[in-house]
A and B are shown apart, each in its own frame.
Chain A
Amino acid sequence: MSPKKAATRRTSTRTSGGTNGASPAPHSLPIGEAARALGVSVDTLRRWERAGRLTTTRDSANRRLVSEDEVRRLGGRSISKSGTGLSARNQFDGVVTAVEIWGVIALVELQAGPHRFVSIITRDAVEELGLAAGVPATATVKATSVMVARRRDQPTPTPAE
């Protein structure tokens, strides 16, 4: 599973002033995602930066950002919407926080940024993927499996004619 798709989405999506800190500048990745896209560690990217091999910018919270152009220049796998070769529209990169096995079925919790996901998959899949607390993983959901409910506690905008 590739992290690029989610990274692209995150930087190309209009942000709604979320609670998870400052948003990355357009077309830039947080250094952790850039490291994943390049298949190297964050420490390596810091070393490259000190050595002048990598140019970074800073967000408003002074965190390093790496432009998608820099990632491409350094040989990162292409950052594109179809980077995973999978048609599913919704992908969230995160880290497994818990795995509970119940007979043949497993309940896996994943923390992806501010979002917590619960996935029910087979025990075989957990073992095959080596899922355990601390393992990076991507949650994928087909668009037709995503339901939408209105929040009645919020004001209703008027639909455009």
Chain B
Amino acid sequence: MNIGARNQLRGTVTSVTLGAVMAEVKVDVFGKELVSAITRASAESLGLCEGSAVVVIMKATEVMLGTEG
């Protein structure tokens, strides 16, 4: 599958917390923690668990920028 998203970071899942509908997936990307909220169904169909090798994807239009002060 090819994805057009500009921002793709490789990482490793450090935790998956399942809720009723959603799942919170924490991913370590080179020592930095990233949090993704996806549906529980997606997390289960991907078989995500601690140690899963993943790519986190962020559309460029979803990345906000801020400056100090």
Contact = CB atoms under 8 A, between A and B. Distances in A.
A148 B62 contact: no
Given A90-B35, A143-B37, A16 B12 contact: yes
Interface string B27-62: 111111111111000110011111111111111111
B36 to A, nearest CB: 4
A121 to B, nearest CB: 6
Given A1-B67, A146-B57, A148-B56, A13 B33 contact: yes
A50 interface: no
Given A115-B9, A138-B67, A150-B53, A92 B62 contact: no
Contacts of A158: 49
Contacts of A12: 33
Interface string B1-31: 1010111011111100000000011011111
A145 B53 contact: no
Given A119-B64, A130-B67, A143 B49 contact: no
A9 B64 CA distance: 19
Contacts of A15: 28, 30-31
Nearest to A11: B31
Given A131-B65, A139-B63, A140-B64, A147 B52 contact: no
A30 to B, nearest CB: 12
A116 B67 CA distance: 17
When A and B form their complex, which 10 residue pairs have the shortest distance between CB atoms, in order from nearest?
Answer: A154-B53, A18-B30, A1-B66, A118-B6, A145-B62, A146-B36, A157-B51, A119-B63, A89-B35, A159-B49
13 contacts: A9-B32, A19-B30, A115-B9, A118-B6, A120-B61, A121-B65, A136-B67, A138-B65, A142-B62, A146-B34, A147-B38, A154-B53, A156-B47
